[in-house]
Structure 1
């Protein structure tokens, strides 16, 4: 019972003497505190963390060291650019005997936010935003990328124009001759104003931005709020009739093709993020297929389109 436990990672040499780009663990469940205003409760995250193994003669890394570092990080620190950079640096330092020089970390979680109704005072509901944080440390610097998914409503401009034309034709047929009475017109519109309605659909924007390593916070809520404000039609949670009417008005005021949505979001991101990408997907109600558009600004940004699925 007192004999030392074998450690083949130290006592054996791999038969194939080759360096490895990345070695580590994937899908670790961990509670995380976010340094975000208004987000007080921990989020359930899944973490992937790895270091490089450049020395071909070393059989394997120390998985338990990485796990312990992640666990201590989650217990004592909130997620921020500075804390992530420190964690990655410790990951590399913990593998000095493996000659590791690089480390990377991915955190995936749903950011749950309470959102007020558009009109009704005191009414609110919860909305979830899938988020990924990618951090890569090398030679004393960290590269931080944030990816967030935002759901919104999109109403087709072409469909709206076609609907207006049908309404115009019906109106002209009814009131083509004689004096038009405003009360009679109003009554007619209440009954026939929705003679034809434009098609709209739930839509998804995937935004990916590079965060300055000197930033105080990751700015997750600010990023999401900015995208929703630019689009003008974020999906709602709890609603009453007044809120539903306000939502209908917003959709009428923000008609958009998939191209419009991608351009609008990217234009809003350029004000704050020199490196960014946008991918949008409109889950068409007219067609059995989706409409998609994407744009990338700046080099060296890993890009995932909305059509590739949710954080595969």
Structure 2
């Protein structure tokens, strides 16, 4: 009686002879270290990983090999371009008997960061940023892309203009066209300045950019801060009244349609990345539907990185 376990993936041929682009697993729970300044804690990630199966007669891949490689990676490595390249290369090598030449990996996680209040010293809170990392190994080379979601507040310029008009009309109705006392005006504004208020909404910008394979890190926090600076109104965590007032001022100074928001972010990315894709969603408070916009930028010339791996 045989004591070896059957391995039909190796012993039985495929019923249908077709090559497969990708075979593997998705949604694997894994704890990861990030090689990013300011991020000292583990992140809970969902990992998808696959290799190609180019030989039609081979029935299947060895999924346990891929899982073991991912598990060892999570235990001993921090996520960086170099470590991801090494993992993908090992994934291909582990399937030499399947003649695999390509591998890909997707990591999805929430990047949890401590953010200070706008005004109140010593006050801060946690903010979560959804991140996706897509890495692929093909012909001995790594291609790498990251995607981040940044939540911000958007105040409608049209609504702001209409609100100002109503306030102006109410002011004229109260004081007419003659001379007025500044004290009376100040008192009236204090009572009626919110006679009409523009509508704002929580909004999300999703940005996808490449990471140079020779870069030291993924650069997630610098990318997030670039996006938040461009928009001007990132949502806050812990606030006191002074911080809420400062946030109201920021909203008044950064009125934006979806078109404005996507252009602000795309403009901030120009010159820093060779390609980029930006999509924004304004979750309307006026309508029961959302407003959306997107933009993709492609290089107009052959952009080359400098000696430090930065895009020119």
TM-score between the two structures when normalised by the length of structure 2: 0.94
Map of 2:77 onto structure 1: 77
Find the residue that maps to 2:233 and give its secondary structure. coil
- 2:23 corresponds to 1:23: yes
Report the CA distance between 1:251 and its aligned residue. Answer: 0.1
Find the residue that maps to 1:133 and give its secondary structure. strand
Paired residues for 1:162-311 under 5 Å: 162-298=162-298
Mapped partners of 1:272, 1:74: distance in 2: 30
Find the residue that maps to 1:83 and give its secondary structure. helix
Find the residue that maps to 1:131 and give its secondary structure. strand
Mapped partners of 2:101, 2:6: distance in 1: 27
Mapped partners of 1:159, 1:17: distance in 2: 61
Q: Which consecutive unaligned segments of at least 5 residues does structure 1 have?
A: 300-312
- 2:92 corresponds to 1:103: no
Paired residues for 1:131-170 under 5 Å: 131-170=131-170
Q: Which consecutive unaligned segments of at least 5 residues does structure 2 have?
A: 300-312
Find the residue that maps to 2:202 and give its secondary structure. strand
Map of 2:8 onto structure 1: 8
Report the CA distance between 1:149 and its aligned residue. Answer: 0.8
Report the CA distance between 1:179 and its aligned residue. Answer: 2.7
Mapped partners of 1:179, 1:249: distance in 2: 29
Report the CA distance between 1:178 and its aligned residue. Answer: 3.7
Find the residue that maps to 1:70 and give its secondary structure. helix
Mapped partners of 1:101, 1:2: distance in 2: 35
Mapped partners of 2:177, 2:32: distance in 1: 69
Mapped partners of 1:15, 1:290: distance in 2: 48
Report the CA distance between 1:8 and its aligned residue. Answer: 1.0
Mapped partners of 2:114, 2:11: distance in 1: 54
Mapped partners of 1:124, 1:167: distance in 2: 35
Mapped partners of 1:177, 1:22: distance in 2: 74
Report the CA distance between 1:39 and its aligned residue. Answer: 0.4
Mapped partners of 1:45, 1:69: distance in 2: 15
Report the CA distance between 1:173 and its aligned residue. Answer: 1.9
Find the residue that maps to 2:30 and give its secondary structure. strand
Mapped partners of 1:240, 1:66: distance in 2: 49
Map of 1:307 onto structure 2: none
Find the residue that maps to 2:163 and give its secondary structure. helix
Map of 2:113 onto structure 1: 113
Report the CA distance between 1:2 and its aligned residue. Answer: 7.0
Report the CA distance between 1:6 and its aligned residue. Answer: 1.2
Find the residue that maps to 2:209 and give its secondary structure. strand
